[in-house]
Amino acid sequence: MFKDSLSFTHFRNRLAHQEALPQLILLGIFSGLATGLVILAFRLIIELPLETWLPDNNSENFEGLPLWLRFVLPIAGSIVTFLLLWKLLPATRKVGVVHVLERLSYHQGHLPAKNMLVQFFGAAIAIVSGHSVGREGPAIHLGAACGSLVGQTLKLPNNSLRLLVGCGVAAAISAAFNTPLAGVIFAMEVILMEYTVIGFTPVLVASVTAALLIRVTHGDESIFTIPALQIQSLAEIPFVVLLGIICALLAAGFIRIMILTQKITSVSLGVKLLIAGLLTGTVALWYPQVMGLGYDTLSQVLQGNAGLTLLLGLLLTKWLLTPIVLGLGIPGGLIGPTIYIGAIAGAAFAVLVAHFTGETNSGVGFYAMLGMGAMMGAVLNAPLAALIALLELTGNPNIIFPGMIAIVVASTTVRFFFNQPSIFLTSLKAQGLDYRQEPITQALSRLGVASVMCASHVRCNTRVSCESAIKVLEQRPDWLILEDKKAVPRYILFPADLEYFIDRISERDGFNPNLELDLTEVPAVRKDIAPLPIQATLKEALDKMNLDRLDALYIVHHNDEIAGIITRDLVEHFYTQKINQ
């Protein structure tokens, strides 16, 4: 097979090194293509059923449904979701961006295919049945899983697996919103939490590949109908700042409601899902606009075609309903609803400003877009991604200056006044997990053990004749790997110590080629060792050494052959160099 050929082995080993840009770009293309195809299938599995049976063949026309169906549909969706989940293990039910961050932090980016399938069908059921959730969060999980599975299938080193997850995330955002640059920034800012040239380029390639695929199949139109936007006067800056503060309050409340709901453990999964369906169905009797993705409603809001009463009603219901149903376990996303809430808040704010000041200022659509960016930046703690999303969605550079003000005010207020990081990290913390990415951890995670290990070694038994030992030493290895009777590596020995020992006994007693030596008793630098897969990163190597209280590991190929030796000194020398740079 190709993946086991000599050329691909070289390709795979090259990825363990820091300078592997051509290989990473190629993998970025594969990841972007795989993610684009999956997101395309995900969109079709949502849009085709809705276009078939919703009134006027409009995939978002939940408003055209009769009252009884608005009420029943989310409940039915909850029941189907429960049937999908109830026999699965709790670990398999985990989906979404929080699951992606957990797998990156604790499992080196290995995302299971089962969770991906649960996310694919679970989110599709939730959206088709009208639950107040989005498709962008599930798309991120699907993209991350695509990138991870590409790496797992090809048995790539874990340092490149992490980057492939970022490639998949960028491609997913690009395909979901048709915003390739925002996808790249989101992946670097929220998922990988670092900006490097080596990391940026393959992520960018993946995002462009997915965007190209989606534009070929769906065109390059924005998902919203957006009017021309421009701030009319610098006198409106105080209003922009005030909108940022309002969005910060909404974002902090959104995060708090969702976390409190997630902490409800006294109720079974089936009951929680049923409650989510009942709440959504009840709200939909009065405000059917909260059902599904709601992009049609957003387009109307951006055009200024919604009254204040409707805006305030939608703002309150969407802001309360979405975090509750997500916290109860509906496997949907929160990015789309977050944007929805921000746009509604901005539009309502513009209408109120016009009412009290008697001036229309820059228009409802302008403030709706600012609210969209401010809410996204505050909830996700991704200010740069939010700003780039505004720019790409509007195609208008005039949004940058006021957008920066609103987003910075909202993000800063949530982060420092409410002491809340992104909703994803807050959810991880609520589960007793962490997503720490210290500089040294990041540096050690970027390289595979194959880039640092010592490949010069010779395997030999612990008991050898003096003549055999001389022949081994003539090969000039850096380390001797000592094996027990079952050929299991137990120790490593420094060859110079063995050579010195043989010279001493030869001088004393004369050279005896048949003299049997017990290499476990020779005075030497000898270290206990344990195996480590060649896919591992330097961080994994150091963690294993610390856990097993070892100073050396032997690196194992996919075919169980020993590839080399890595010692604590080699790892510490690497990160000492990084500190001094």
Q: What domains can you pick out in the chain, each with its CATH number? A: 2-437 (1.10.3080.10), 448-580 (3.10.580.10)
The pair of structure tokens assigned to 449 is: 């053990």
Q: Identify whether the C-beta of residue 450 lies closer than 8 Å to the C-beta of residue 16.
A: yes
Mean pLDDT of the residues in the chain: 89
Q: Identify whether the C-beta of residue 334 lies closer than 8 Å to the C-beta of residue 326.
A: yes
Looking at residue 436, its pLDDT comes to 61
Whole-number Å distance between alpha carbons of 243 and 376: 13
Strand 457-461 relative to strand 479-483: parallel, antiparallel, unpaired? parallel
Residue 328 predicted with pLDDT over 50: yes
Strand partners, 526: 493
| Three-class secondary structure of residue 360 per DSSP | coil
Mean pLDDT to the nearest integer, 334-348: 95
Looking at residue 549, its pLDDT comes to 87
The pair of structure tokens assigned to 444 is: 């050690």
| Three-class secondary structure of residue 1 per DSSP | coil
Nearest to 151 by CA among 42, 285, 282, 20: 20
Q: How many CB atoms lie within 10 A of CB 419?
A: 8
Percent of the chain with pLDDT over 90: 52
Q: Which of 41-45, 83-87, 395-399 has the lowest mean pLDDT?
A: 395-399
Residue 251 predicted with pLDDT over 50: yes
| Three-class secondary structure of residue 346 per DSSP | helix
Q: How far is CA 241 from CA 254, 367, 371, 374, 408, in A?
A: 20, 11, 11, 10, 9
pLDDT in tens, 124-134: 999 999 999 99
Looking at residue 579, its pLDDT comes to 53
pLDDT confidence bin for 116, thresholds 50/70/90: very high
Looking at residue 199, its pLDDT comes to 78
Q: How far is CA 545 from CA 245, 403, 527, 559, 572, in A?
A: 48, 48, 12, 23, 12
Comparing 3 with 517, the larger pLDDT belongs to 517
Q: Helix, strand, coil shares of the chain as percentages rounded to 5?
A: 65, 5, 25
pLDDT confidence bin for 581, thresholds 50/70/90: low
Whole-number Å distance between alpha carbons of 421 and 414: 8
Comparing 24 with 72, the larger pLDDT belongs to 72
pLDDT confidence bin for 2, thresholds 50/70/90: very low
Whole-number Å distance between alpha carbons of 158 and 136: 26
Looking at residue 127, its pLDDT comes to 96
How remote is the C-alpha of 63 from its chain's centroid? Answer: 34
Residue 1 predicted with pLDDT over 50: no
User: Which residues make Cβ contacts (< 8 Å) with residue 252, sequence separation at least 6?
Assistant: 378, 413, 414, 418, 420
Looking at residue 99, its pLDDT comes to 95
Q: Highest-confidence range of 434-438, 506-510, 560-564, by mean pLDDT?
A: 560-564
The pair of structure tokens assigned to 436 is: 């720490």
Whole-number Å distance between alpha carbons of 334 and 139: 11
Comparing 80 with 359, the larger pLDDT belongs to 80
Looking at residue 5, its pLDDT comes to 61
pLDDT in tens, 266-304: 899 999 999 999 999 999 999 999 999 999 999 899 888
Looking at residue 18, its pLDDT comes to 66
Looking at residue 224, its pLDDT comes to 65
Q: Which of 36-40, 204-208, 386-390, 554-558 has the lowest mean pLDDT?
A: 554-558
Count of alpha carbons within 13 Å of 430, Cβ hemisphere only? 21
Whole-number Å distance between alpha carbons of 317 and 254: 12
Strand 531-533 relative to strand 552-556: parallel, antiparallel, unpaired? parallel
Comparing 573 with 482, the larger pLDDT belongs to 482
Comparing 301 with 509, the larger pLDDT belongs to 301
pLDDT confidence bin for 518, thresholds 50/70/90: confident
Q: Identify whether the C-beta of residue 254 lies closer than 8 Å to the C-beta of residue 410.
A: no
Q: How far is CA 162 from CA 114, 173, 193, in A?
A: 19, 17, 11
Residue 4 predicted with pLDDT over 90: no
pLDDT confidence bin for 137, thresholds 50/70/90: very high
Q: What is the per-residue burial (b if ≥16 Cβ within 10 Å, else e) of 128-141?
A: bbbbbbbbbbbbbb
pLDDT confidence bin for 577, thresholds 50/70/90: low
Looking at residue 373, its pLDDT comes to 95
Whole-number Å distance between alpha carbons of 347 and 363: 9
DSSP output for 242-288? HHHHHHHHHHHHHHHHHHHHHT--SS-HHHHHHHHHHHHHHHHHH-G
Looking at residue 580, its pLDDT comes to 57
Q: Is the dihedral of CA 421, 422, 427, 432 positive or negative?
A: negative
Nearest to 161 by CA among 192, 186, 190: 192
Task: State pTM to two decimals.
Answer: 0.87
Looking at residue 465, its pLDDT comes to 87
Q: Is the dihedral of CA 329, 332, 335, 340 positive or negative?
A: negative
Mean pLDDT to the nearest integer, 10-31: 81
Looking at residue 45, its pLDDT comes to 95
pLDDT confidence bin for 571, thresholds 50/70/90: confident
Looking at residue 3, its pLDDT comes to 46
Looking at residue 105, its pLDDT comes to 84
Whole-number Å distance between alpha carbons of 573 and 309: 65
Strand 552-556 relative to strand 562-567: parallel, antiparallel, unpaired? antiparallel
User: Which residues make Cβ contacts (< 8 Å) with residue 330, sequence separation at least 6?
Assistant: 78, 81, 126, 131, 133, 273, 276
Whole-number Å distance between alpha carbons of 417 and 413: 5
Looking at residue 506, its pLDDT comes to 84
